[in-house]
Structure 1
Amino acid sequence: MRISKLYLMIALAACSPVMAADLALTPWAPSLKAEAVTFLPNATQRLAASTRDGLQLLDNQGAELASFKGNFSSLDTRAAGTQVLVASLDNDRQQALLVSLDAATKTFGKPLYLPARDYPVNGLCLFRDAAANLFVFLVGEEGKGEQWLVGNGTTLLSNPQRVRGLPLPPSAQFCQVDDATQQLLVNEENVGWWAYPAHPEADVKRIPVALFDNPKREAGAMALVPGGVVTLDPKTAQLHLFRQTGEHWVEQGSLTLPGLKEPEQLSVSGQHVLVRDDDTGRLYQGKLDWKATPVDAEPVVPEVAALRQTDPVGRQGDAADDPAIWIHPEQPAKSRVLGTNKKQGLLAYDLDGKLLQELAVGRLNNVDVRANFKLGAQTVDLAVASNRDHNSLSLFSIDRQSGELREAGEVPTPLKEIYGICLFRPASGEIYAIANGKDGTFLQYRLSAPDGRVQGELVRQFKVDSQPEGCVADDQRQRLFIGEEDVGVWAVDARADQPATLTSVIKVGPQLHADVEGLALYQSKERDYLVISSQGNDSYLVLDAEPPFTTHGAFRVGLNAAAGIDGASETDGLEVTAMNLGGPWSKGMLVVQDGRKRMPEQTQNFKFVPWAEVTRALKLP
């Protein structure tokens, strides 16, 4: 059967929709019985998934070149060096499968199966992130979706790892991922098409590509094109082209598929399109003549991987908050990472992330440490945390040999909602605690315990205009850095007898995304850096710790496929040290709170990153 030859010019850059026209289609490979067909990167071959003939490598006329026997449906591919990685659904085993294909030698590799799921899987699609990690998304019935890590670079993992569950539309069957913009596109049969962030550390949210309230319409399969997506409406037998402009999607044109009663599957490569008519089981090919205008992708932020992570905290929800690093004075490898659980208390971990101590003293928010505090006749190291139960400072002694923490007392404050805290030690040797409240008030206390009972003397008070939290003191330069969450970072003289004149370090803008959260100082013989948690875009900014506070760039903490450690996002607090803690921490350690614990999904925790990886990623001097 030959269908009328009408070609459509679709200009992706056009501002107004193009009127619907017929697309000229001709039958392709009439004898082929396939559930799905896709174009391979070399453009001269196709790949088919068949319930009868398995996975089939085809030439451009549809003749079989090689096959992987079985009963398959759904199909997606990604190039991997000289090979192609293929994802499909094995209907006999009811499992998702991944297999490598060498198109040149026409051979399939050893299959990798995802574990069987407890729900029917309707479809799947692949995603490769900027760090070359390969993921597969599963689209299931009743709104169930999952993201799995299945490979890195050109290699498939021997043991796929579930990254996260993802709530999807209840009637979803098809998905596609745009690797460049890191967006997962999913259909909702009677509603339209949605776009979700695909990155494993992204928040779960969606924006509409196109929605309709019309029983005569149906949202079906999709195919990505430069700068947009082509969608298939099986009920109207039409293709629709959408282009993304900012946060919105705009329809640019539509094509009618005359003669097709139940168009279902769709594949596009350049100007070539393949459509399957479920009514006859036949495939049709056509040509789309358009001028493609790719969407500018966001600049790639370099990623570093965590080498260790802590045990998950013992409370659900937003619990873990701020870390501090206690350095053992004689054996740095016995140092500890302290962390607050703002629903429980203070936690202490070894450098492998194992929980050593848990002090259930209340809702602690931020914590900081300093060495050599006189607690009566004893010399101990000191940890101080902001206690939101009592709007007070909770003090803890740290045994300088064993690292054991003990409650050492409490200092009340007049703050109505205490929030952040940091410690400052000038050359004179006393220790100050600088606490802040959500109303912007900062209070500076001189801490002492001459008779073994801790006390705090209020020595200075100042204020910023809106909510602060993170702060860190540079003891050497007697400078205090404070973060105003929606505004930026300020520097102020840390000395109690000096005026609190605020100097801007960096404002919220293109580099620093609100909320401004944790602040920390990396101080070495060579260079001092200020590290900031840019929570709004899940990144960490590195600046010189001295004026003019030159920025050295931002990085993210991505997943470590080999170690099975997920990345970090929604970071509240962080801490860094330049001390040689041994092994991978010879150049220091960065600790960040992870607001979304994944792979597997558990309560929040803290991630440990070798500072050497940050130096490498940002090419720091």
Structure 2
Amino acid sequence: MNCKGQNQTGEKLKPTVITETVVHDTDDPAIWINPKDTSKSIIIGTDKDTDGGLYAFDLQGKIIRKVSGLKRPNNVDIEYGFILNGKSTDIAAVTERETNKVKLYSLPELKEIGEFSVFDGETERGPMGISMYKNPATKEIFAVVGRKSGPKEGYLWQYKLSEKNGAVTGEVVRKFGKYSGLKEIESIAVDDEMGYIYYSDEQFGVHQYYADPAKGNEELSVFGKGDFTSDVEGISIYPTSKKAGYILVSNQQNDTFNVYLRENPAKGRIAEIPVSTLESDGSEVTNVNLGPQFPKGVFVAMSNGRIFHLYDWRIIEKRIQSEIKASKQPK
């Protein structure tokens, strides 16, 4: 379904595309960029239920592929270029909460290529959030996994992916991350280029850590405290250059996205974007030109109604710039 974007001050932005509905409950999207033709890139999204699924949508919102029978899949993320059986393979990693596993699929086929259990030995497991990290120097690929509940220290575990018997598996290499204890931690995002992990402590703020385990477990910052109506949710990172851009974080109960500077998020919120998306849990964004409909990239957000919303980035960018300009006007 195609819709017209609107950017007048005060109005909610309208999605450019709304996907077809899933069966139960959309939760989290990811974006796979087609290297041969970016206009044929794919949105990957989870359908969260005991009989849940993993969906692939084209950029017109049509369902083009589906994996069924997953046991409450929560979040999904993508990384490129894992060497499997001697071949470069793009991977979608999905948390399966009721089995305490991460399941792995090749892209764009969504063929299962491995799995591994998470939080082994813990009394509180229930994996929810996941984000992938590829070390730019070593090319090693990791999965950073969060859970429904956990301790005040070491809430997140980081797994290094490797090949074993022709399949992808993961081995824990780090346990890190502070937790306020207020609600839960679900959304995790990694900025490969800048080398940072961000995660939403739902009624507290956004934590920042180094993504490379070799750099240690020191907390670098917490931002967004006091900026949210209730839950701090989905995190998306839009680069405008190698070291600048925007971090968008879902202000779930306000149906807005708070925007922070990628180069210095601790400086504070620079804009709040009102969207038509309802109570968004998860989101993702890319700055890649995906064709005439999304020439500066697409912002994808989960919405109530068993759907995902796709926004032409130009609509988002125009509103951000408008809010920044308005904030500089004398009052």
Q: Per the shorter chain, which TM-score range?
A: 0.7 to 0.9
Q: What's the counterpart of residue 224 of structure 2?
A: 507
Secondary structure of 1:454's match? strand
Given candidates 237, 241, 250, the residue that maps to 1:525 is 241
Distance 1:520 1:411 in 2: 26
Q: What's the counterpart of residue 110 of structure 2?
A: 405
Give the Å deviation of 1:131.
Answer: 8.3
Rg bigger for which structure? 1
Distance 1:487 1:504 in 2: 13
CA contact 2:221–2:266 (8 Å) conserved in 1:
no
Tell me, which stretches of 5 or more residues in structure 2 are unaligned?
1-5, 325-331
Give the Å deviation of 1:314.
Answer: 1.2
Q: What's the counterpart of residue 493 of structure 1?
A: 210
2:318 aligned with 1:616, yes or no? yes
Task: Spell out, residue by residue over 1:492-538, the C-alpha distance to the aligned partner (whole angstroms, 9 max, x if none).
Answer: 011112322223342331x3232111111111337421110111211
Question: Normalising by the residue count of structure 2, what TM-score does the alignment of the two structures yield?
Answer: 0.86
Aligned partner letter, 1:508? K
Distance 2:263 2:11 in 1: 24
Give the Å deviation of 1:339.
Answer: 0.3
2:55 aligned with 1:347, yes or no? yes
Question: Normalising by the residue count of structure 1, what TM-score does the alignment of the two structures yield?
Answer: 0.47
2:307 aligned with 1:605, yes or no? yes
Give the Å deviation of 1:549.
Answer: 3.9
Structure 1 residues 454 and 492, CA, compared in 2 at 3 Å: closer, same or farther?
A: same
Given candidates 267, 276, 289, the residue that maps to 1:580 is 289
2:162 aligned with 1:452, yes or no? no
Task: Spell out, residue by residue over 1:230-263, the C-alpha distance to the aligned partner (whole angstroms, 9 max, x if none).
Answer: xxxxxxxxxxxxxxxxxxxxxxxxxxxxxxxxxx
Give the Å deviation of 1:384.
Answer: 0.3
Aligned partner letter, 1:574? S
Q: What's the counterpart of residue 142 of structure 2?
A: 432
Structure 1 residues 542 and 302, CA, compared in 2 at 3 Å: closer, same or farther?
A: farther
Structure 1 residues 447 and 305, CA, compared in 2 at 3 Å: closer, same or farther?
A: same
Tell me, which stretches of 5 or more residues in structure 1 are unaligned?
1-129, 133-299, 558-566, 598-603
Given candidates 414, 420, 430, the residue that maps to 2:129 is 420
Aligned partner letter, 1:499? G
Give the Å deviation of 1:611.
Answer: 0.6
Q: What's the counterpart of residue 175 of structure 2?
A: 461
Identity of aligned residues (%): 32
Task: Spell out, residue by residue over 1:251-310, the C-alpha distance to the aligned partner (whole angstroms, 9 max, x if none).
Answer: xxxxxxxxxxxxxxxxxxxxxxxxxxxxxxxxxxxxxxxxxxxxxxxxx75522101111
Task: Spell out, residue by residue over 1:71-108, the C-alpha distance to the aligned partner (whole angstroms, 9 max, x if none).
Answer: xxxxxxxxxxxxxxxxxxxxxxxxxxxxxxxxxxxxxx
Given candidates 331, 351, 355, the residue that maps to 2:37 is 331
Structure 1 residues 395 and 534, CA, compared in 2 at 3 Å: closer, same or farther?
A: same
2:15 aligned with 1:306, yes or no? yes
Task: Spell out, residue by residue over 1:55-83, the C-alpha distance to the aligned partner (whole angstroms, 9 max, x if none).
Answer: xxxxxxxxxxxxxxxxxxxxxxxxxxxxx
2:66 aligned with 1:358, yes or no? yes
Q: What's the counterpart of residue 442 of structure 1?
A: 156
Distance 1:338 1:379 in 2: 19
Give the Å deviation of 1:442.
Answer: 0.5
CA RMSD of aligned residues (A): 1.9
| Count of matched residue positions in the alignment of Structure 1 and Structure 2 | 301
Which is bigger in relative contact order (C-alpha 8 A, separation at least 6)? 2
Task: Spell out, residue by residue over 1:155-205, the C-alpha distance to the aligned partner (whole angstroms, 9 max, x if none).
Answer: xxxxxxxxxxxxxxxxxxxxxxxxxxxxxxxxxxxxxxxxxxxxxxxxxxx
Give the Å deviation of 1:450.
Answer: 5.2
